[in-house]
Amino acid sequence: MRLATGSVVPSNAPSERWFIANPKWHSSQSQRGLLLDRDGVINLDIDFAHRQEDIVFIPGIFELCSLAVARGYLPIIITNQSGIGRGLFSEEQFRDLTLWMFDIFSAEGTELAGLYYCPTHPTSGVGVWKRESKMRKPEPGMFKRAIQDFRLSPELTIAIGDRPRDALAAARAGIGTNLLLGSSEVELQGEAGSTTIVIEDLPGAVPFLTLP
């Protein structure tokens, strides 16, 4: 249903099973994950991107994922998406965009396993979306769900984010290699302070993709 303002809201309470599988991905025995934030790591961080024309892929992302798969890593997207909770776009729109992005990666020679997302926001959410959630970064819920669902070893897994909340969520989930894409001047606090490595660009993640 829609509010008079045009905002999109869900018709019933969410279940927190916020996952979109890639229908082209085939089962893998890998215990090593490459857990990627979306906006700012895979594509440029344009506020509340939800259309194909909003997506500008960051140079090096396809090459990084291809190498990761070749070295036995399973690429999965982990992303906050409060634009859904704010009523700016629907889950259906987000799902359609995600499946399109999967197809783009497939055309580039890499199959992503899937995408975890959290649509809630504690203060700006609409209706049932206005609440705290253990899935929303900096909480580690989505990382823990990915580890459980895909039977990943946290110690052998790599996370790449572009904001301190990404690094903090990964640290709280016990991710072994926690990379932050951005300036070396960024300030990290709590668990992320001593476990996060800052890289300037995506090629900077390549040395961390170890061979099996």
Which amino acids are annotated catalytic? Answer: 37, 39
**Which residue, chain included where needed, has tokens 């194909």?**
52
Please give the structure tokens belonging to residue 14: 């969410």
Tokens found for residue 201: 């660009």
Name the residue among 20, 17, 36, 30 with its Cα closest to residue 69: 30
The Cα–Cα gap between 151 and 50 comes to 30
**Tokens found for residue 37:** 């934030």
C-alpha closest to that of 84 among 125, 45, 115, 46 = 125
DSSP bridge partners of 39: 43
* Residue 178 near residue 197, CB atoms below 8 Å: yes
